[in-house]
Amino acid sequence: RKEVEQDPGPFNVPEGATVAFNCTYSNSASQSFFWYRQDCRKEPKLLMSVYSSGNEDGRFTAQLNRASQYISLLIRDSKLSDSATYLCVVARTGTYKYIFGTGTRLKVLA
Amino acid sequence: GAGVSQSPSNKVTEKGKDVELRCDPISGHTALYWYRQSLGQGLEFLIYFQGNSAPDKSGLPSDRFSAERTGGSVSTLTIQRTQQEDSAVYLCASRENNEQFFGPGTRLTVL
């Protein structure tokens, strides 16, 4: 079993739709959580960190559920420019090792 | 300011040759990472540097892979006797606080 697992998708949604992705992690010692965005043939870029109480950045909301060991990303009012692969990233307690999921691909359709 | 840069952007080599990939991190970032991303796959951790030392080399796939960092800045990843399965995009990232900043990657193709 991979340490970080994501549904690869693709998620095809119309513009304006709300879409949510989940990511599960297996190491309960995991401490830090992030969502990165990767456009086709580009490098990953930080979208947002995920805090225990949940956090929001504009149309994006991230949630953490430690008991069930998953994090989620909700995108409201999807834009064409949101089309990308979303990578779930988990860092282990006491280390600076970051474990990347394989990503969930989102396509927003006109 | 300048971001992370990597060179070459593309490298095509023949099986059995050695290759050297270079990463210039953001100035002042002491933490540096190398990852490998194969087609349709996630990022595979290779090695982590803190300053010039590498406390975590656990991801290097074999002894054909090595990396060094000098002056707490530039890092090179060397692959000896390349194999076709080494073909991938090699990404370098430097870190400030909890955010990793990635370079554009080197696309390595081993024929």
Q: Is the minimum CB–CB distance between B98 and chain A shorter than 8 Å?
A: yes
What pLDDT is attached to residue B53? 86
Higher pLDDT, A94 or B76: B76
**Distance from C-alpha of A110 to C-alpha of A93, rounded to nearest angstrom:** 42
Please name every residue paired with A60 in a beta bridge, in sequence order, or none if there are none. Answer: A57, A75
* Distance in Å, alpha carbon of A107 to nearest chain B alpha carbon: 16
For position B77, what pLDDT does the model report? Answer: 97
Q: What percent of chain B has pLDDT over 70?
A: 99
Q: What percent of chain B has pLDDT over 90?
A: 77
B31 in contact with chain A, both atoms CB, cutoff 8 A? yes
Cβ(A96)–Cβ(B95) below 8 Å: yes
- Cβ-defined contact of B105 to A43 (cutoff 8 Å): yes
Mean pLDDT within B49-67: 89
> Residue A24 has what pLDDT?
95
Helix (H, G, I), strand (E, B) or coil at B84: helix
Please report, for residues A91, A98, B21, the alpha-carbon distance to residue A30 in angstroms, rounded to integers and kept in the order given.
6, 10, 31
Residue B63 pLDDT > 80, yes or no? yes
pLDDT of B65 higher than 70: yes
Output the pLDDT for position A97. 84
Indicate whether B1 pLDDT > 70.
no
The per-residue pLDDT for range B27-41, each reduced to its tens digit, is 989 899 999 999 877
Cα B77–chain centre separation: 5
Q: Which residues, at least 6 apart from B106, have a Cβ–Cβ distance to it below 8 Å? A: B6, B7, B8, B9, B10, B11, B21, B89, B90
User: Touching check for A94 and chain B: CB below 8 Å?
Assistant: no
Q: What is the mean pLDDT of residues B11-40?
A: 94
Of B42, B91, B100, the CB nearest to A101: B42
Query: Does the distance separating the beta carbons of A98 and B33 come in below 8 Å?
Result: yes
The 10s digit of each residue's pLDDT in A44-99 is 999 999 988 889 999 999 999 999 999 999 999 999 999 999 999 998 877 788 99
B34 close to B90: Cβ distance less than 8 angstroms: yes
What single string gives the DSSP state of each residue in A54-109? -EEETTEEEEEETTTTEEEEEE-S--GGG-EEEEEEEEETTS--EEE---EEEEEE
**B25: Cβ contacts below 8 Å, ≥ 6 apart:** B4, B32, B73, B74, B75, B92, B94
| Chain A contact for B35 (CB, 8 A cutoff) | yes
- Region B88-107 average pLDDT: 94
